[in-house]
Structure 1
Amino acid sequence: MPDLAERMNLLVTKARQLVKDRQLVAVRRGERNVLSVPAAFIDGDQVLKGLPGTITLLADNKYTDEEALRWMFTPDETLPGTPVQALRENRGTEVRRRAQALGF
């Protein structure tokens, strides 16, 4: 979280609030069980455009944070690439359409 806060020019408490508010997804990793947010979720010093809406759709479809992260980074031949790559390429509508369809 300190790295995230520094990259986004925020206090650590504000960075943690982004996770609580479901603007970002974080999981615990490593030996020290550190709360981590993928660097790909940040664009400059902002949350990646379209990510919060995608996170909401995945949560609405009962995805855990770990499952949501796995889905975001799993290649999809029909996109092409991963959902997070598509968001970075401003193809968020298609990513959200796919996330929404997971519930059906």
Structure 2
Amino acid sequence: MIDPETTDEYAKPLVPEQHLAKFALDSPAAAPRVAVIGAGISGLIAARTLREHGWEVVVFEKSRGVGGRAATRRADPGLSFDHGAQYFTARDPHFARQVE
């Protein structure tokens, strides 16, 4: 059975300003190291956000390039195709600024 109260909590929109303070560090010397697994849109935005707040970040990606499911693959010289999402709509202004 799904707890509706928990579901409502997860369904609330993420307001970055409410959460960014949790990542702020008092001094650069205290900067923890963190690994981000995956260089897709989510991984890259997470890495950039953490770096902007003083964290030391290393991104690991299994593929040859970045982009995850929104990457362009090249099969032969002059032959490329979109892998996964060909386009997406960024309705949230915070997300839109990140992917510009």
* TM-score of Structure 1 vs Structure 2, range by shorter chain: under 0.3
Higher Cα Rg: structure 1 or 2? 2
The TM-score with structure 1 as length reference comes to 0.19
TM-score (norm 2): 0.20
The structure carrying a bigger strand percent of its residues is 2
